[in-house]
Amino acid sequence: MYRLTTRTRAGTATAIAVLVLVIAGMALPAFASRGVIQDLFFILTMLTLAQIWNLLAGYGGLVSVGQQAFVGIGAYAMFAGVILLGWNPVWAIPLGGLAALLLAIPTAYFAFRLQGAYFAIGTWVIAEVTRLLVAQWKTLGGGTGTSLPREATSNILGTDLIRALFSVREAAARDILAYWLALVLVVAVTGGIYWLLRSRLGLALSAVRDNVEAARSVGVDAGRIKWAVFLIAAAATGLTGALIFMQTARISPDAAFAVTDWTAYVIFIVVIGGIGTIEGPILGVLVFFVLRSALADYGSWYLMTLGLIAIAVMLFAPKGLWGLISARSGLHLFPVRRKLVGLKIEGGI
Amino acid sequence: MILRLENVSKSFGALKVTDAVTVSVPRGEALGIIGPNGAGKSTLFNLITGNVLANEGRIEFLGRDVTRAPAMERVRMGVGRSFQIPQPFEGLTVFENLLTAAAFGRGGREADMVDACARILEETELLKKANVVAGSLSLLDRKRLELARALATGPELLLLDEIAGGLTEGECKALVETIRAIHARGTTIIWIEHVLHALTSVVERLLVLDFGRVIGIGAPDEIMASKEVREIYLGLEV
Amino acid sequence: APAIAQGAKIRLGYVSPQTGPLAGFAESDAYNIKAFLDSDAGKNFEVIVKDSQSNPNRAAEVAKSLIVDDEINLMLVGSTPENTNPVATTCEAEGMPVISTTAPWQPWFIGQQGNPGDPSTWKPFDFAFHYFWGLEDIIAVYTGMWKQLDTNGKVGGLFPNDADGNAWGDPKNGLKPGLEAAGFSLTDPGRYQNLSDDFTAQVNAFKAANAEIVTGVVIPPDFTTFWNQARQQGFKPKAVTVAKAILFPQSVETLGDAGHNLSSEVWWSASHPFKSSITGQSSAELAADFTAKTKRPWTQPIGFSHSLFEVAANVMGRVSDPTDAEAIAAAIAATDMSTVVGKVAWNGVGVPPFAAKNVCKTPLVGGQWRKKDGGGFDLVIVENATAPEIPTAGKMEALA
Amino acid sequence: MLLQTHGLTANYGQFRALFGVDIAVAAGECVAIIGANGAGKSTLMRAITGVIRNEPAMVLHRGEPIGALSSAEVMKRGIAMVPEGRRLFPSLSVEENLLIGGQVRKAPGPWNLEAIYELFPILRERRRNPGTALSGGQQQMVAIGRALMSNPELLLCDEISLGLAPVVIRDIYAALPKIRAGGAAIVVVEQDIGKALAVADRVYCMMEGRVTLTAKAADVSRQQIHTAYFGEAA
Amino acid sequence: MIWLDTLVQGILLGGLYALFAAGLSLVFGIMRLVNLAHGDLIVFAAYLVLMGVTLLGLSPWIAALVAMPLMFGLGWLLQTVVLNRVLGKDILPPLLVTFGLSVALQNGLLEAFSADSRRIPAGSLEGASLDLGLVTVGVMPLLTFASAIVVIVALNGLFYHTALGRAFRATSDDAVTAGLMGIEPKRIFAMATGIAMVVVTIAALYLGMRSNFDPSIGPARLIYAFEAVIIGGLGSLWGTLAGGVIIGVAQTFGAAVNPEWQILAGHIAFLVVMLLKPRGLFPRAVD
Ligand SMILES: Nc1ncnc2c1ncn2[C@@H]1O[C@H](COP(=O)(O)OP(=O)(O)OP(=O)(O)O)[C@@H](O)[C@H]1O
Ligand SMILES: Nc1ncnc2c1ncn2[C@@H]1O[C@H](COP(=O)(O)OP(=O)(O)OP(=O)(O)O)[C@@H](O)[C@H]1O
Ligand SMILES: [Mg+2]
Ligand SMILES: [Mg+2]
């Protein structure tokens, strides 16, 4: 007699649109220039990081300022796989996820003892410690950093196929491969988060966010959820880091553990777009990309503008741009509400 | 005995809120708790549910020592509770509130819980509002939701904290009927309430708490007849 | 026909740290690029400048965008290994010819190898070319300066954990073996992090070793911190010869009197006897013109920033198809020209075989900052054994 | 009228806790507000003192709209509150807790440190202790003294007997007449109906965010209160 | 001998960190504001002092005195116009706003002053030292440490012996109830940030005299300042000094083992303290 549904018209439309976009995205390298592919790679990897951070802070209440630790360790693990173990870079990427996962365990053990601002600063310190330790890793160049050897970058799995497929140069084939991987990653991460929110865990996350005490009183294990979210986020961040640095082919501790690039800009994207929604980071990353493309040639003026925009958005649209839009229109592209359908039920979303 | 408290004490700083409480509740009983504001009634609930841990004493549920067990473990064993000040998950709908409780309190797949949740919603007269965000509910509906959510965890022992306070006569009567029905299905109930007539029409025994101590326990008539209790509880000169 | 004769302009990409801590290296970019484009040689060129924000991630990213979006024909880059290495790595992977400078060749070449610790794995590059000097030149110049003084030959080294510091401090490929060969002994307490606030450990180590000379490659704030603490804690070396920290006159001026007679290597100066191949200016004229136009004192990176465009013009003049990366790379390799920083030719002279293909060396001399009477400092060249064509203007003096 | 509310409403987020409450307090008067848990009594106090802000005209002080003022501005007009749960400042000693009450507004009047120590002599002994190290009753005395330090025209007391032993409650209630004698009007919010009726001139009874009974304390019957309180005949 | 020297230098270094951290401690303690722009504000103040020295020809000490009221006003404005509007239970809005401020300040300074390394000239003081028999210490580090103590004593006096300090503590405990006492929490916050900016000016003076600065240098020490504040415990000024000293000593001892360990050792000391006492060494009764 009663049924549970999460379907809405906007949600279905989004699902179709996303499907079309993903298929189009897969086929894009056949038409698009390398510049477009590279811009998209940047957008997709930043979006992945932003979605992950949004999961942490927006849904899990874990405001981490130390995500660069996982980007960095993931990237370094990938380099280690290639340089020390001689793996193909593509196979070394999962190693990045694994390394980040392993690092996340002691990090969580430490940081979960801290609350709020203390948690934020604690994660930052851990990221610094990781950076300084990695900077002592002499075989991977220490503080100097290192580059992927040319025979590794020219031999990346699948590039031959891509070269044959699109008849492009080796470097372009590498871009396409990285772009595809980024596309897979962003779809997997966003889809995974969406699935998570629609699963039992999603209910638990919302419950914990709304009221920890009450959540515990209905049987939700708040601690375990925090652990799960933190570890998942770390592993996914590590994968993303490995992918980003496979594409860059050069690494140094300052680049891999850059708090500005991998955390501050990511926070900017999420918060400007609208935290606690899947739509927010998508909107945010587009805004960030447009700003960057339009202003980056103005040197310090660009960064100054970026800073001032962050301030202005927080003052005038504290829920971010998507918050502004959905408050006006009631639109939710990724519905997670479970509706009870049946007789005698009124009220919408 | 479904629940047994032995010499349970709890202090917040220097303030002793629960003072060597010993009480046993047989399976299937409906026990009422009364006492003045600040007597430690809600704290006693928190001790039973594990939201607060006892300083001393021992708490047994279904024959198992749960004195140190965390709240969520006790929920899964069958301790359901409502909060005196309603604590809905404000961002979730009424139905989702129940679904969360059902999925985690009983431990099952969401899809299997839909009918059970719908039944509870029906019973607590919330069905119409199933898809309304809990943050926008009126006080009455919040109280109903407290009860509904507690039921959704599938409790053997149901703890109700002042769910009739502030309700109109009609609403109160309906509530009493609901609780009776729940009790009739065999659920053990402990109910804290200031609205005495509602309480006494359901419970079999009454426990009086003052300054964290049990100052009387027995049949409602006897307890209500005691002048001491009337004075302490109502604060009115009789 | 040579590329320059054809219609479309040749596109040069240039990555420089216009903002952030390295911005000092980029201060003459606008000046030099304008001078280049205004010159005859520059008519056929377009220069696209991207700001790396002193951030290696950003440097790699803008390099890529120059290659892909702006479809440049040749990449130019300078301003320390933090800037050159990510750009060169990107170009090498992209098959884009790149000419880089203003970083000693060891951190540039070895720093881009997968496993810097294992020389057997090092590989030459196909598209990346570098001209500057190397640590062997530093050793020669520094020891030449120190030998002018009467010291016990004990040297303390300050090497941070960054590309330069690791290269200089490397026990096998760095300063140590060379100094020992020249009769000096090096005390190296270990790699510190940049922007450290305390150098007590180093001061104590140098005191314990009875060092009379301090050397290293130190960023300005760290050097100030070190030098103050050294004096406060009673450590008085006879010579302090460091790179980076006292590169810019502004940095020396921040030291006040304590800047007097500090010494450093000199890669370019207003008194270098070379001429620009594109403007015909002598070093002195270039420096004077820069000061006249910008109201800022000349600095060493100016010459190298200028020379990058000289080399680019020369190389592209010898290429018929500016889109043919292999041909450009071959033309770079075949370069043999004189620039405002000296002769540039990738002929392997003075470079070990593994790097001979990609590295070419420019002359290096030693200089000492002397306080001027009216305030300010002069950089006086005091050592030129390895480059006698550059005249000295004085003798090395011990610190007071 | 010293203070009046007109159709006062208050929300917590989307949840409405007050639905058009009208009350009035004359200068020097003592008014009791009673009602069950959650009736909205504390919310009413918060709305009056500007902790919850409102339309300006919903609260009038001597005829002037103050509904939109901040609590500091309301307080400077001579309306002081003893908040529910006492809420002493834990980092301040007893004496500092008292001093801070009269730090911003210090109108001429009978109340100063000396007078408060006289009213509650035990506080003088404990004046160096941190406020939170006192017993509940003593803390309540500090909270009252703190509100008095500014010599307010109107003193709002939210559940000053909550959780206290009867002897202590007696001591605290004994202070109310002395406070009135100093010239302040008083609003007491109480669940203990007996105590409230004993001190008040008039009484308002609230239920679910509305005033359900307004009466002279002397006239009101237990029956009436019970109905207003529980919504049902006892 | 060496160890004693290392200890003394570490303690003196701790004074510098405490000075960096004192303003942060005030702001963090009173309104739980994580000010990511703190380091950049120090650099900004350093430029202000430098301008006083170069443009007006003042001595650094006088220039700092002149800069103080300006910085106070800036802090007041910043709090009133921007920060007060984003303070709340959620730590993210202030985090993002102060990050934005940090980026904007750094690049504004770069536009205004170029990337040149600057220094506030302190003349003969720079290399001056005192021979204390067992150890030789620099006059400048000693002055820094002494100033840290003076600042902390002064702030403590303000905090515990003035009406304003009482209002600070009360607002920090419970801003709503402070409102009922007639205190405008927002005005108190503005005052606190203003005072923090005065402390920032003092920190800037020493930062600028001790070593070089340029627009990008602000964030580098921010993390030490936070560590010092947290090690000490929220709202405890002496705790902040202790926190600074712990980090300073850990750094010098780490460096004595090997300079590679210098910065790491400071961070590790922080992690260890947090593992043992998650609320810092001298936590307050509340929160
Ligand atoms: N977490 C806590 N920390 C400190 N004190 C507490 C805490 N919880 C309750 N108290 C105090 O314990 C005492 C008893 O509170 P409790 O809520 O158990 O009373 P109650 O009998 O339920 O009262 P009411 O009828 O008002 O609900 C009160 O004085 C209260 O202030
Ligand atoms: N901060 C808050 N957020 C949300 N709801 C609140 C809040 N404070 C109170 N409420 C709700 O508002 C209603 C009125 O509360 P209020 O505290 O005014 O009642 P009261 O009459 O003072 O009760 P008590 O006797 O328990 O003090 C209650 O339903 C309560 O749950
Ligand atoms: Mg209760
Ligand atoms: Mg109340």
Which residues lie closer than 8 Å to E102 by C-beta, 6 or more apart? A307, E36, E37, E39, E40, E218, E219
Sign of CA dihedral D154, D160, D161, D164: negative
Number of folded domains that form chain D: 1
Q: Are B85 and B122 in contact (CB under 8 A)?
A: no
- Interface check D76 vs E, CB under 8 A: yes
User: Would you say D20 and D192 are in contact if contact means Cβ atoms under 8 Å apart?
Assistant: no
Q: If pLDDT is split at 50, 70 and 90, which confidence band does A297 have?
A: confident
Report how far ligand 4's centroid is from the alpha carbon of D100 (Å).
24
- CA–CA min distance E93, chain C (Å): 26
pLDDT of residue D230: 57
State which ligand 1 atom lies nearest to the alpha carbon of B13: 4
pLDDT in tens, E25-48: 999 888 888 899 999 999 999 999
C5 CB contacts (<8 Å, ≥6 apart)? none
Domain co-membership, B80 together with B113: no
Ligand 1: distance of its center to the CA of B37 in Å? 8
Q: Specify the 3-state DSSP secondary structure of E186.
A: helix
* Nearest-angstrom CA–CA distance, E245 and D177: 56
3-class SS string, A270-294 = HHHHCCCCCHHHHHHHHHHHHHHHH
Q: What is the DSSP letter of A29?
A: G
Contact call for E274 and A306, based on CB within 8 A: no
Higher pLDDT pick, A153 / C390: C390
Domain boundary (B104, B139, B174) is at: B139
Containing A307, the helix (H) or strand (E) segment is: helix A300-316
State yes or no: pLDDT of A349 exceeds 50.
Answer: no
pLDDT value, residue C68: 85
> For residue E161, what is the nearest residue in chain D, using CA coordinates?
D96
Residue D174 pLDDT class (50, 70, 90 cuts): confident
Q: What's the CA gap between C104 and C138, in Å, rounded?
A: 9
Our CA angle for C389, C393, C396, nearest 5°, is 110
**Distance from Cα B42 to the centre of ligand 1, integer Å:** 7
Q: Could you tell me which chain C residue has the CA closest to the CA of E106?
A: C20
* D90, D105, D130 ranked by CB distance to E182: nearest: D105
What does the alpha-carbon distance between residue C400 and residue C378 come to, in Å, rounded to a whole number? 17
| Distance separating alpha carbons of residues A306 and E94, to the nearest angstrom | 16
Domain total in chain B: 2
pLDDT band, residue A348 (cuts 50/70/90): very low
Domain shared by B125 and B164, yes or no = no
| D49 → closest Cβ in E166, E180, E286 | E180
- Interface contact D36, partner B, CB < 8 A: yes
Question: pLDDT band at A94, cuts 50/70/90?
Answer: very high
Q: Identify the burial level of C354 via C-beta atoms within 10 angstroms of its C-beta, where 0-12 means exposed, 13-18 middle and 19 or more buried.
A: middle
Of residues A337 and A180, more confidence is placed in A180
What is the pLDDT at residue A170?
Answer: 80
Q: CA–CA separation, C57 vs C67, rounded Å?
A: 16
Is the minimum distance from the CB of B40 to ligand 1 under 6 angstroms?
Answer: yes
Q: Is D182 exposed, middle or buried (0-12, 13-18, 19+ CB in 10 A)?
A: middle
* pLDDT value, residue B238: 36
What pLDDT, on a 0 to 100 scale, did the predictor assign at position A344? 62
The per-residue pLDDT for E155 is 93
Question: Which atom belonging to ligand 2 lies closest to the Cα atom of B85?
Answer: 31
The predicted-structure confidence for A214-267, as pLDDT tens digits, reads as follows 999 999 998 899 999 999 999 999 999 999 999 888 888 988 998 888 998 999
Q: Give the integer Cα–Cα distance in Å for D137 and D165.
A: 8
Q: How would residue D165 be classed by pLDDT, with cut points 50, 70 and 90?
A: low
| CATH architecture classification, E2-113+138-276 | Orthogonal Bundle (1.10)
- The closest of C114, E151, C3, B135 to A151, measured between CA atoms, is C114
CB of D35 within 6 A of ligand 2: the answer is yes
* pLDDT given at position C3: 47
Can you give the residue range of the structural domain that contains B97?
A: 91-139
Residues A320, A271: contact at Cβ < 8 Å? yes
Low-confidence ranges of chain B (pLDDT < 50): 236-238
Six-digit token pair at E285? 């009764």
By Cβ distance, the residue of C50, C60, C123 closest to A149 is C123
Q: In chain A, where are the structural domains located?
A: 34-257, 260-333
Confidence of residue E285 (pLDDT cuts 50, 70, 90): low
Question: Are residue B162 and residue B237 in the same domain, yes or no?
Answer: yes
E209 to chain C, closest Cα gap in Å: 10
What are phi and psi for residue E269, nearest 5 degrees?
Answer: -60, -40
Same domain, B230 and B161: yes
Q: Is the CB of D83 inside a 6 Å radius of any atom of ligand 2?
A: no
ipTM of model: 0.86
Q: Does any domain span residue B1?
A: no
Q: What is the pLDDT of residue C348?
A: 85
Q: Do residue B185 and residue B235 come from a single domain?
A: yes
Size of interface A-B (CB pairs under 8 A): 121
CB atoms near residue D108 (< 10 Å):
6
* pLDDT surpasses 60 at C383: yes
Determine the average pLDDT of the residues in A115-129. Answer: 90
Element holding C300 (H helix, E strand):
helix C300-317
Contact B105 A218 (CB under 8 A): yes
What is the model's pLDDT at position A53? 96
Do B42 and B116 fall within a single domain?
A: no
Instruction: Note the pLDDT of residue A347.
Output: 46
pLDDT digits (tens, 9 = 90+) for A10-38: 888 888 999 999 999 988 888 888 889 98
Question: Are the beta carbons of E177 and D89 separated by less than 8 Å?
Answer: yes
Instruction: Give the mean pLDDT of chain C.
Output: 88
Report the candidate in C180, D123, D13, A251 with the shortest Cα–Cα distance to residue B91.
Answer: D13
Determine the average pLDDT of the residues in E239-258.
Answer: 94
Residue nearest to atom 18 of ligand 2 (CA): D40
Q: What is the pLDDT of residue D122?
A: 86
Q: From the CB of residue D125, how many other CB atoms can be counted at a distance below 10 Å?
A: 11
Looking at all shown ligands, the one closest to residue D191's CA atom is: 2
- pLDDT tens for each residue of E102-133: 989 988 998 898 777 888 888 778 778 888 87
Per-residue pLDDT at A343: 62
Summarize pLDDT for A150-161 with one digit per residue, the tens.
777 777 788 888
Q: Which residue of A has its CA nearest to E110?
A: A300
C119 forms bridges with which residues in the sheet?
Answer: none
Q: What is the mean pLDDT of chain A?
A: 89
| Same domain? B127 vs B208 | no
Phi, psi of D133 (to 5 degrees): -85, 0
* Residue environment code for A231-246, b if the CB has 16+ CB neighbours within 10 A, otherwise e: bbbbbbbbbbbbbbbb
Q: In whole angstroms, what is the distance from residue D168 CA to residue E127 CA?
A: 68
Mean pLDDT score of chain D: 86
Q: Would the pLDDT of D144 be above 80?
A: yes
Q: Is the CB of C85 less than 8 angstroms away from the CB of A258?
A: no
Q: Give the CB-side neighbour count of residue A100, counting CA atoms within 13 A.
A: 33
Considering A295-309, C103-117, D111-125, the range whose residues carry the highest mean pLDDT is D111-125
- Stretch 102-141 of chain E: residues touching chain C, C-beta under 8 Å: 107, 110, 114-119, 121, 123, 126-129, 131, 136-141
Residue E124: the pLDDT is: 78
Question: Torsion angle, CA of B55/B56/B60/B65, rounded to 10 degrees?
Answer: 80
Render pLDDT for C154-175 as a digit per residue (tens, 0 to 9).
Answer: 999 999 998 889 888 888 888 8
Note down the domain range covering D125.
3-230
